[in-house]
Amino acid sequence: MPAVIRIEREFAVPFPTREIWPVLSQTDWINRSLGLPPVTYEFKPAPAGGSEVMARARMFGTELRWREHPFEWLENEFYRVQRVFERGPFREAKLGVEFRSDGGNGAIVRVCSDFSPRNAVFAWLTRYVIGPQSLRGFASILAHVTAHLNGRESNALPRLPRATPAAEPLSVGLTKLRHEGQSAGLIEKLTTLIRNVPDVEAGHLRPLAVARAWHADAWEVLRLFLAATSAGLLDLRWEILCPNCRSSRQPPTTSLAQLERKTHCEVCQIGFDAEFDRSVELKFSIHPAVRPLDRQTFCLAGPGGKPHVTAQIVLQPGEGRSWKLPSLKAGWRLRSPQVRQATNFAGDESDSSGVPRTIECQPEEFRITFADQAGDHEEMAIVNPNPFPVQVCLERLAWSEDILTAARVTNWQEFRDLFATEVISPHEQISVGSQIVLFTDLRGSTAMYNQVGDGRAYAVVRDHFVVLRRAIQEHHGAVVKTIGDAVMAVFSQVDEALLAVKQMHASLRAAGFAAGAPPVVALKSSLHVGPCLAVNANEKLDFFGTAINFAARLVDCSKGDDLVMSDEFFQRPETRRFFLDHPIEVETIEVKFRGFEAAYRVWRVPMLADKTGTA
């Protein structure tokens, strides 16, 4: 039997590891760039938890079939994977890339692969053909990455396939965008993206990430993407992200109405509920009439596909090992498919637990001993006492800021206006873990109708709706419904909700809506945040639940020309920061609401003027 053949080389790159890791950890892209074949994956539940993964590909004129073991990695330092073949030229392959500093501002990248050929012929091919060819390919990749980081190449990797757009539908769509008055500069950037983005990215466009790359306003880019969808240049697609791997293996849907609350991840082998404000993501793809899409997969489970996982390790039965932890200064979670209970740590001043020194992976929970907080990287002992392998990962609790959630986009008035038919199925109720809800009402409106007559009073109410809608839209909120002269609106960001309320009161006062001016009316407003359900109500997206009922009651505490906030909303860190920047006198009161047993603390803010004398 031929001996194991090692193929390795070190390369110097004039950039630090933290800059090259985001590119070189994208194993799917790298395999495409190296010219490797697409891979088909099959999953089945593993007895102890998680999944067993089998993979197939065609290479050398024959089918390769192998067991894909989970990757191991430590962010910015290494990744490696083991593949055990049932069919093909190899019995086993261990592939890895290591990163270390060169002592200056650059990095040393070490590529190391161990192949176990099935016979002498494949041993010769591996040593003299496959190995040298793969090293030349990797050298070409590193040269291209260097040029990309120096600004000389637009795409991060070389030789990524890129389909040619169809000229006519591209021209027609771009003409529509110009006639609508979209930004000429952004249209030019979109044209370049449609023409040049590699196939691997063309079906997974995240507008917030694109905005960052373009150094453009995120909402302006989202507005362009929505307009481009209406113009036939892009397609929108909804994906439900697994709370563990934070990817989607389910086919994307083209409408919210196709979403189902219950779903399943075949990779993690868990069932979970869709969450409107967390795991339901809006992505875009280039319309297939403009440019065909490539849906192939070349590598499934590398670290680039799980950027929230900073470290992952696989322990064999009974194995103990030293595990190097990354910085734990941010919130993080220790998780394993083979351990029932994950362990969360705040990673800040509120977390006094310290740094793990030993971790024992029991089926029910992690048994952890701690030491005092120390440096950015710590060695610890991790043990698997079980008769089965255990895969353990350390992951950030925070979700990527590039994810455009369903709640965030449907809480935007422009989306609701442009895609009014985008509602969830009337048979589904999808949870929203945290929704910011605004209610307004007009104090004195009944008396106004009696004083000035229906026609003039209706005109006042109508004009006040225009002012409120403008403030809500300009601060990226959405009007859910109007009830008489009351408004229910939703926001995704605390500061935007507060700025919208501030603008409403200031604009109405400027228009003569202040108390004491004829007709005598004043705006009442309230803000609350809490979980609720997204539902289809009369073919419109609406929200229901206890938090919505409470928010509706809250506006009754307003006296007019003021804002009333629930304690949940006021205690949010973003709220406290806002009032540090916009100093206003705040008073607290305790009230009881109809239908709620306990008394609640609420906060009242006069909206006439702040301490600086401005609205």
pLDDT one-digit tens code per residue, 6-15: 999 999 999 9
Cis peptide before 519 (omega within 30 of 0): yes
Where in the chain are the domains? 5-149, 167-303, 309-396, 417-606
Q: Indicate the helix (H) or strand (E) that contains 535.
A: strand 522-537
Token digits of residue 371: 């030491």
Query: How many whole angstroms separate alpha carbon 540 and alpha carbon 534?
Result: 10
Residue 371: predicted pLDDT = 76
Identify the residue whose tokens are 């593949």. Answer: 83
Q: Which of 258-262, 280-284, 388-392, 405-409 has the lowest mean pLDDT?
A: 258-262
Whether 259 and 274 have beta carbons less than 8 Å apart is answered as yes
The dihedral formed by the CA atoms of 565, 569, 574 and 576, expressed in degrees to the nearest 10: 60
**Pairing verdict, β 355-361 and 378-383:** parallel
Q: Provide CATH code, domain 417-606.
A: 3.30.70.1230
The dihedral formed by the CA atoms of 558, 563, 569 and 573, expressed in degrees to the nearest 10: -150
Query: How many whole angstroms separate alpha carbon 462 and alpha carbon 357?
Result: 65
Q: Per-residue pLDDT averaged across 304-318, rounded?
A: 94
Q: Cβ contacts of residue 349 below 8 Å, gap of 6+?
A: none
Task: Reduce the secondary structure of 228-252 to three states and give it as a string.
Answer: HHHCCCEEEEEEECCCCCCCCCCCC
Residue 347: predicted pLDDT = 60
Query: How many whole angstroms separate alpha carbon 158 and alpha carbon 140?
Result: 8
Mean pLDDT computed over every residue of the chain = 89
Residue 513: predicted pLDDT = 64
Residue 610: predicted pLDDT = 45
Q: Please give the single-letter amino acid code of residue 265.
A: C
What's the pTM value of the predicted model, to 2 decimals? 0.86
Q: Indicate the helix (H) or strand (E) that contains 101.
A: strand 90-101
Residue 196: predicted pLDDT = 93
Q: Indicate the helix (H) or strand (E) that contains 17.
A: helix 17-24
Burial 48-65 (b: 16+ CB within 10 A, else e): bbbbebebbbeeeeeebe
Residue 515: predicted pLDDT = 46
Pairwise pLDDT comparison (168 vs 331), residue with the higher score? 168
pLDDT one-digit tens code per residue, 139-188: 999 999 999 999 998 889 999 989 999 999 999 999 999 999 999 999 99
For 150-289, where are the alpha helices, taking DSSP H only?
Answer: 167-179, 184-196, 199-202, 207-214, 218-230
Q: Which fold, 5-149? A: Alpha-D-Glucose-1,6-Bisphosphate; Chain A, domain 4 (3.30.530)
pLDDT one-digit tens code per residue, 344-403: 887 655 555 667 789 999 999 999 998 765 555 578 899 999 999 999 999 999 888 999
Kindly list the distances between the CA atom of residue 481 and the CA atoms of 192, 261, 413, 478, 528, in Å, as whole numbers in the listed order. 39, 24, 11, 9, 17
Helix (H, G, I), strand (E, B) or coil at 263: strand
pLDDT bracket for residue 612 (50, 70, 90):
very low
Alpha carbon 590 to its chain centroid, in Å, reads 38
Q: In what order do the strands lie in the sheet with 355-361?
A: 320-325, 378-383, 355-361, 366-371
- For the chain, how long is the longest CA-to-CA vector? 100
Percent of the chain with pLDDT over 70: 94
Burial of 177 (0-12, 13-18, 19+ CB in 10 A): buried
Helix (H, G, I), strand (E, B) or coil at 69: coil
Query: How many whole angstroms separate alpha carbon 344 and alpha carbon 346?
Result: 7
| pLDDT beyond 90 at 427 | no
pLDDT one-digit tens code per residue, 246-266: 888 778 888 888 888 888 888
pLDDT one-digit tens code per residue, 497-537: 999 999 999 998 887 765 444 556 789 999 999 999 999 98
Q: Which of 78-92, 275-289, 323-337, 409-423 has the lowest mean pLDDT?
A: 323-337
Q: Please give the single-letter amino acid code of residue 246.
A: R
Tell me, yes or no, if the two domains 5-149 and 417-606 fold the same way. Answer: no
**Pairing verdict, β 107-117 and 90-101:** antiparallel
Pick from 333, 322, 311, 272: nearest CA to 391: 311
pLDDT bracket for residue 101 (50, 70, 90):
very high
Task: Reduce the secondary structure of 127-168 to three states and give it as a string.
Answer: HHHHHHHHHHHHHHHHHHHHHHHCCCCCCCCCCCCCCCCCHH
Percent of the chain with pLDDT over 90: 66
**Pairing verdict, β 90-101 and 78-87:** antiparallel
**Pairing verdict, β 522-537 and 562-566:** parallel
